[in-house]
Structure formats: C-alpha cells, structure tokens
Structure 1
Amino acid sequence: MKIETQNLVLGVDGCRGGWLVVSWDGKSWNHRVVRDRLQLIDLLKSSRRTFIDIPIGLGDLESSRTCDRLLRKTLGRSYSSSVFSPPVRAAIYANSYENACQINQAQTGKKISIQSWNITAKIRQIDEIFQQQPELGDRILESHPELLFWKLNQEQSLTHKKKTDAGKQQRLKLLTDPIAESQKLFTKIRNSSLKKEVSDDDILDAIVLAYSSHQSLVCGLKSFPDPVEFDDRGLRMAIHYY
C-alpha cells in the first residue's frame, strides 16, 4: 500500500483479523489487513481523510448518542439493530463484560449489549490512538457503511441484509456505478484474505468507506448530527457521510 501521497484516502473496517484498510490514491486501489497498532497509526497519519466504522466520540454520563439515534431513524426499523450504542468511555477499559455492564449501568442506568462489548477492544484501540495523536481528530472520521450504501441507493434503505447473498450482490452492484473496477477489487481482496479473518461484508464495507471518504472531499462533508457534537475530550461525536 502506498502511503506517501497527499491524496490518499482510506476506508477502515474492523474484522476478525484486525483492521481491513482499503485505500485510494487517485490512481489505484490497494488494501491491507492491519494487525499492529503502530502500523495502523502510520497509515492513518498518511491519509488526507479516513472514514472508519467504529465509535469515536464517547459519552461519560449517557450511552445514547444523538448520531446513533438519527442514524437509526434514517435507516429505518429493519436496520436499527446494525447501529450499536457504544459504552461510556470508562466501560471500554473494563476487564470483563460483567465489569463493563456494572460501569455503564452506574453511569447511565443501562447495561451494554454483548454486541457492543464485542467491539470494545477496537473502540479502545482507536481511543488510545486519539489520546496519543489528537491532531488526527479532523482527518479520521467515524462513519457507518449502511449509511453510505443508503446514500448510494438514492437515500433509500437496502432491501437485503449484508450477510445474505442477495445483500452482498446488492451492495456490490451499488458500488459498480461509481467504481468501475469494484468487482475486480472485491475479488482481489477476497482472494488475498482468509475468510476466517475477513468476511465478504467486511470487504464491501471497507470499499464503500474508502470511496465515500474520497467523495466527502469532492462533494462536501455531512454528518449526523449537524452541527457536530463533541465529547468531553473534544472528539467528534458524529457519524459522517457526503
């Protein structure tokens, strides 16, 4: 993956193998599965803009974020389960699910879902990166693949879920118009990645994140909410698109 260009945009999606990073430098598409945090930091620092599918801005007294509520409303009831409310910041540093539930309940009155707990390690990793590299806050932006596919689908929710064969084909077809080589790119990533580390929907998500990151520079950046809200550490508590 080239990391020297000033035009580099990234799409980053968490996967079982670590992070799937798809890049576009204005000329070619590349990808990499990143397992090492320092390697991830180097890639993030090299990009002009990155869309990443992970909560960034976190609450301390309230686990429900405005951006998540607005996203659920936009995507509709059938997709509301794909939008997880992240734990409060203290809970992502808990050493067990039970401990995280106790912390979250003490601060918000609510426990956290097991789905939210399953991504806390990655939320924590990104939170630690922002603690070390706060200057990345304007370049590394939280996004959500289902919102980006909604955008590609003329701002309509998709009819098939991403884990189904029909859902995969629907998303790949939506990517074909803006990215002529999307099928080739998908196949390239699929053939070079283990399925136990990178799923088909991880690939589609990372591609749409990278494409949309580029589009936000060309067409303008939008967010839920607008204007953007910030957490007590100054991190954007918003979901971005174009």
Structure 2
Amino acid sequence: MYLGVDGCPDGWIAIVYDVDEYAGSGLYTHVEALYEDYGEEAESILVDVPIGLREHSNKKRPCDVAARRLLSPDRHASVFAPPVRAAVHADSYEAAKRIQEERTDGSLGVQSWGIADGIAQLDRFLRETHSDAVDIVREAHPEVAFWALAGEEATEYSKTGQPAAAFVERVDRLEAIDPDVSAHLRRAGRDLDAEVGVDDLVDAFALAVTASPLTGDLRTLPDEWPDDDPGDPAGLPMEMVYARP
C-alpha cells in the first residue's frame, strides 16, 4: 500500500494506492488510527507535514530552502517554516509565540501556528509511539510533488488567486500519471463524509501518486546535507521526498 496524507479541518485525508491502482480513501482524526489501519501493509506514507524540527533556532531547514528555490518565483510561498519543537506542542498561539521568541531571534506567524497541531501530533507519534515508522512515514510537499510530476516545472496557477485554473492544472498533472484520476477524485469526494476541501483532496492524491510505483524511486531534498547543519536534535529526518515519473 502507498498513501498520500494531507490535513483538513476534520483531521487527516488518506488516499491509498495498491501498487499502481487507486484503492480508496479514508478520514482520520489522529495519525495513530491511520497507522493502525495501514502501518503493517504500507510501503510508504507521505505526509504534508514538517517532521524534522529545530529546538533552539529558527535557522531555515535545508529541505525548506531547497523547496523554496525549486518553486520560485511563484509557488515558494507555499513552503512554511515550522516553529521550534516546544512551540508546536504549546496549548495556545500566545504560548507558542512566547516560546518561539524566547528560543530564537524571531517570532511566530499565524500561518505557521495553523499547522502546529498536525506537526505536534506527528512529532509525538514518531518520537514516542512509533519510532519504527520513521522510514515509512515521510515528509512531502504537494507543490514539490507537482513540480516533479511535470518534469521539474512549478505550477503556474495559484490555488487562492486562480482556484479554477489551479485545480485543472493540478488534475492535468495527475492524469499524466494516472489517466483515471478524475474518476478517483469524484469517488473519494463522495466517500469522505467530512469538511474536506478540493485542494486538500488533490494534494493528497499528489502525495499518493508520488509514493506509489507509478512515479519511480523516491528522492530527497536537499540532494546533499550541509556539513554545518546538525539537523533535528531528536534525530528525526529533516527532508522532503519527491519522485520523477
């Protein structure tokens, strides 16, 4: 099994491929429940959530730097720098902002805090509950996935500024890999009884297709790790994965 996972207001959307065929979708309130369903069978689970974190610095992660460079000049803003580990585990934005300011020379934006709950959940899962899953559950970014699927060309249309054109463009890129993806999208959209946005669904499909054998071996950003970067003090991988068809 190969999964692409994206967050939504009701939890986590999982799109599942069985080798090279769409095999279904699911909605989970916690990543633990998702792993209970698929962990034993999954070859790869790609999640649109930062995994490797800083603890006392807001130095940019090498994978974020590489992703922003690839997606410039238009899609680079979709790559958010995650807060430090203690901040993502805080119980309020005010507390997280205070922690971020105490431990770094910067502050914490509302957008970064908006993904903190998912980061904290996955961080706790990989460090405390299922450290054995670190080679299966890996960080990916939908826009990097779309960049790779289209021969290393970033998407042209913005999801917020030009939503209709953006949807068509991204579905076109998915159909180049799986010609039946439009039918799969319709089926998944009907099956998921939740507050699921079209963008969330399309992004989850991009990660699922990337995880699957349809696109070949997974590669990582950055290509080479900087010698002067110690990485995540907790030992979690600080990388993004993608695949070229």
TM-score with structure 1 length normalisation?
0.90
Does the CA contact (< 8 Å) of 1:44 and 1:140 recur in 2? no
Does the CA contact (< 8 Å) of 1:41 and 1:129 recur in 2? no
Matched, 1:105 2:101: yes
- Please state how far the C-alpha of 1:37 moved relative to its aligned partner: 4.3
Of 7, 10, 17, which residue of structure 2 is paired with 1:24?
A: 17
CA RMSD of aligned residues (A): 1.7
Gaps of 5+ in 2: none
Percent identity between the aligned chains? 31
* Corresponding residue number in structure 2 for 1:204: 202
* Corresponding residue number in structure 1 for 2:172: 173
Matched, 1:235 2:236: yes
Query: Which residue type is aligned with residue 156 of structure 2?
Result: T
- Please state how far the C-alpha of 1:28 moved relative to its aligned partner: 3.8
> 1:214 and 1:153 mapped to 2: Cα distance?
16
* Corresponding residue number in structure 2 for 1:57: 52
Give the match's secondary structure for 2:234.
Answer: coil
Of 14, 34, 39, which residue of structure 2 is paired with 1:40?
A: 34
Give the match's secondary structure for 1:55.
Answer: coil
Gaps of 5+ in 1: 1-7
Query: Which residue type is aligned with residue 121 of structure 1?
Result: D
Matches within 5 A, 1:71-150: 71-130=67-126, 131-150=128-147
Paired residues, what number?
Answer: 233
> 1:230 and 1:41 mapped to 2: Cα distance?
26
- Please state how far the C-alpha of 1:185 moved relative to its aligned partner: 0.5
Give the match's secondary structure for 1:180.
Answer: coil
Does the CA contact (< 8 Å) of 2:47 and 2:137 recur in 1? yes
> 2:137 and 2:12 mapped to 1: Cα distance?
14
Give the match's secondary structure for 2:15.
Answer: strand
Query: Which residue type is aligned with residue 152 of structure 1?
Result: L
Does the CA contact (< 8 Å) of 2:54 and 2:232 recur in 1? yes
Structure 1's consecutive aligned runs of 4 or more residues displaced over 3 angstroms after TM superposition are: 227-230
Does the CA contact (< 8 Å) of 2:32 and 2:125 recur in 1? no
- Please state how far the C-alpha of 1:108 moved relative to its aligned partner: 1.4
Query: Which residue type is aligned with residue 158 of structure 1?
Result: T
Asked which structure has the greater RCO (Cα within 8 Å, sep 6+), the reply is 2
The CA deviation string for residues 173-226 of structure 1, in whole angstroms up to 9 with x for no partner, is: 1111211210001111222335x611001111011101101148x632211113
Query: Which residue type is aligned with residue 220 of structure 1?
Result: D
TM-score with structure 2 length normalisation?
0.89
